[in-house]
Structures are given as structure tokens and as C-alpha cells.
Amino acid sequence: MTVRTQLGNSDLYINPIGLGTNAVGGHNLYPNLDEEVGKDLVRTAIKNDINFLDTAFIYGPERSEELVGQVVKELGNREDVVIATKGAHKFNGDDVVIDNSPAFLTKAVEASLTRLQTDYIDLYYIHFPDEDTPKDEAVGALQELKDVGKIRAIGVSNFSIDQLKEANKNGLIDVYQGEYNLLNREAENEILPYCKENNISFIPYFPLASGLLAGKYTKDMTFDDLRKDMPHFQGRQFEHNLDKVEQIREIADDKGVDVPHIVLAWYLTQPAINALIPGAKNPDQVINNLKTLDVTLTEHDIERIDGIFKKQA
Ligand code: NAP
């Protein structure tokens, strides 16, 4: 069994390499997803000691949670798996609004429990902030659910630094999830230092910049999914980013590993980041990403990578 890391002040201990599951039944994000492959990603993860699964109501919507729940039930080892899910999206017909009200979050947790076929959710995040609900009140509702055993830890995602501070007024936040990768380092300005000071685990999403930092894309590639609108994937910027990835390949070759292992290992050297949730499209990627845990980066490596992807102001 590999090393386990603690999420914030919670009693959750996880493999630092988890699995992001927005490509498990996330039909609204990726067209033509095969659900059997999605289930196999989850199965492969759990069978290879990856015990941290990251899902959300909105992936599908609903379908990712359902498929994750099916596989965990099939394998029969619920207590060995740490399931994180998220809610805040409320559908009114075809319209979707963000709602952090205590009443909505309470209902959202119940609905996630049903889809996941479980009695408790290990980590529940408010997925996005709404404009109206005081954030400590929203978190208070989750604390009540924690008190009755429906969730085990509280997280927030996509909150600004001020919203995070308000949410954490009573010290109840264990995990913050936000976009962070070598191409988007804004979180280094305020959110990462705040998480470090307050013993909140920061879990970066899009750690591989949706695949761009995994080292296999070429400049002639085009995309028909959520990547087609992402800034990192546009024209000259895309080419420039791929040139940087080639510099990472030199470090990877020296160590006998692949590009994603170096990229993922670098995050784990950052203060407050102790767990990662790379996504995957096939089971080989799930297993491959575990090699990250074999990488040791020297101070020189860390600075070199920092220099290649210079910090944004
Ligand atoms: P990501 O982790 O940056 O990139 C994952 C993609 O990289 C894979 O789908 C695969 O794409 C490629 N890849 C992964 N491992 C690889 C390997 N070893 N070798 C080569 N290619 C590899 O992006 P993500 O999955 O969108 O984000 C991670 C997780 O964060 C999500 O699954 C989700 O759980 C979470 N998330 C949360 C939020 C939020 O608002 N809180 C938002 C977005 C995502 P290809 O095979 O297509 O190249």
C-alpha cells in the first residue's frame, strides 16, 4: 500500500494521486463518452490503490455520480474509498442557476447520496459560489450534515479569496478545490498561502491543463470538446505552451519517466497541495499517473520548472 495523506483537519487519508471523474459519464463536457470505459476507469483506480474519487452532480449531469456509485458498490469496499462530490447547480427547466442556500445544499446532498448509493459522502464541496448566500451560513448547513454523519468533510470550490475566508470563518473548511496548473498559477497569489496558513488542502483541478501538459499533443491537433474554447488551446498560445512542455520532456527523459509525472510531482512540492485528481480517458492513463509517486524532484528541478512556466503577476 502506498503512502496516505490527510485532507485538511479531516479524518480522511488518501493516496496523493486520486482520480478526477468528469470524463466518467460527463456527457455534457465530452461528447461520445463510453460509459463502460468510464466505469473501467473507476474500477482500475480502486484496484490499483487509488482511493480518492472526485465527482460532481454537474458531470453528466448526475451520470458521473451514478457510475461511480455503481462501481464502488460492485467492488464492495465502500469504506476503503474516499468519495468527493460537489453541488450548487440548480436546474429550473433548461435554465441552471447556482444556489448555496442551506435548504438547497441539504437537498443536493440527499440527492447525491441516492445517486452514489451510499449512506455518507466523504467530502462534500460547494461547487461554485452564488451571489447571495453568506458563505459561513452555507458552510453551517454542511456542518449540520456532518454532525449527523451524512458527510465527513467540507470543501469549497471556485471561491474567491474573500469568499473562502468568509466560508472558513469558523475554521470548518478542510479542502479548497480550484483551477491551478503550470499554465495558470493565479492561486499562488492569495489562495495557496491562505490554505497553507489554515491547514486547508488545496486540490488543483485541470492539473494537466486538460491533457495539454501530459506531453502527447502536437501543434496540428484540434479539439471538439470543452478544450476548443480554453485559452491555453488557442492558436499561437497553444503552440507556445507545447514548446514549454518539450522542455519538461528533457527533465522527464533524464529521470526515465514521462512528462505528466514531472508535472504532477511538481505540484506536490507546492505548499498546501498534498493531493491531485488528474482525469483520464483510458485505464492505462489511470495506472500511468501513479508513477508520479516514484519521482523525486531536486531543488534545481523545481526551480527549473518554475522558470519554464514563469509565475503570472
Ligand atoms: P486534467 O486532469 O488536467 O487532464 C486530464 C486529461 O489529461 C485526461 O482526460 C487525458 O486526456 C489526459 N491524461 C491524463 N493522464 C494522462 C497520461 N498519463 N498520459 C497522457 N495523457 C493523460 O483535466 P480534468 O480531468 O478536466 O480535471 C481533473 C479533475 O478535476 C476532473 O476530472 C474533475 O474531477 C475536476 N474538476 C473540477 C472542477 C471544479 O470546478 N471544481 C472543474 C474541472 C475539473 P486525453 O487522453 O484526451 O489527452
Q: What is the pLDDT of residues 158-189, one digit of tens each?
A: 999 999 999 999 999 999 999 999 999 999 99
Q: In whole angstroms, give the CA distance from residue 244 to residue 213.
A: 9
Active-site residue, 120 included: no
Q: Whose CA is nearest to atom 21 of ligand 1?
A: 214
Q: Whose CA is nearest to atom 25 of ligand 1?
A: 279
So what's the pLDDT on residue 307? Answer: 96
Residues in contact with ligand 1 (CB, 6 Å cut-off): 20-23, 54, 157-158, 177, 205-211, 214, 216, 260, 277-281, 285, 288-289
So what's the pLDDT on residue 313? Answer: 43
CA 165: distance to chain centroid?
20
What mean pLDDT, rounded, does the chain reach?
A: 96
So what's the pLDDT on residue 180? Answer: 98
So what's the pLDDT on residue 310? Answer: 86
* Tens-digit pLDDT profile for residues 66-110: 999 999 999 999 999 999 999 999 998 889 999 999 999 999 999
Mutate to test the pocket of ligand 1, among 14, 183, 210 (most ligand atoms within 8 A of CB): 210
So what's the pLDDT on residue 226? Answer: 87
pLDDT(249) > 80: yes
Which residue in 128, 131, 120 sits closest to 88, CA to CA?
A: 128
Question: What are the phi and psi torsion angles at 293 (to 5°)?
Answer: -70, -10
CATH code of 5-308, in short, is 3.20.20.100
- Half-sphere exposure of residue 279: CA atoms within 13 angstroms, side-chain side: 24
Q: Please list the residues that pair with 156 across neighbouring strands.
A: 126, 176
In ligand 1, which atom is closest to the CA atom of 208? 3
In ligand 1, which atom is closest to the CA atom of 282? 46
Ligand 1 centroid to Cα of residue 205, in Å, is 8
So what's the pLDDT on residue 1? Answer: 58
Mutate to test the pocket of ligand 1, among 14, 19, 21, 22 (most ligand atoms within 8 A of CB): 22
Cell of 242: 507545447
Cell of 112: 447525491
Q: Whose CA is nearest to atom 31 of ligand 1?
A: 20
With cut-offs at 50, 70 and 90, classify the pLDDT of residue 3. Answer: confident
Strand boundaries in 151-214, DSSP class E: 151-157, 175-179, 201-205
What secondary structure letter does DSSP report for 272?
T
So what's the pLDDT on residue 24? Answer: 98
Ligand 1 centroid to Cα of residue 86, in Å, is 17
* Tens-digit pLDDT profile for residues 9-41: 999 999 999 999 999 999 999 989 999 999 999
pLDDT(302) > 80: yes
Domain ranges for the chain, please list them.
5-308
In ligand 1, which atom is closest to the CA atom of 205? 30
Q: Whose CA is nearest to atom 33 of ligand 1?
A: 20
Ligand 1 centroid to Cα of residue 212, in Å, is 10
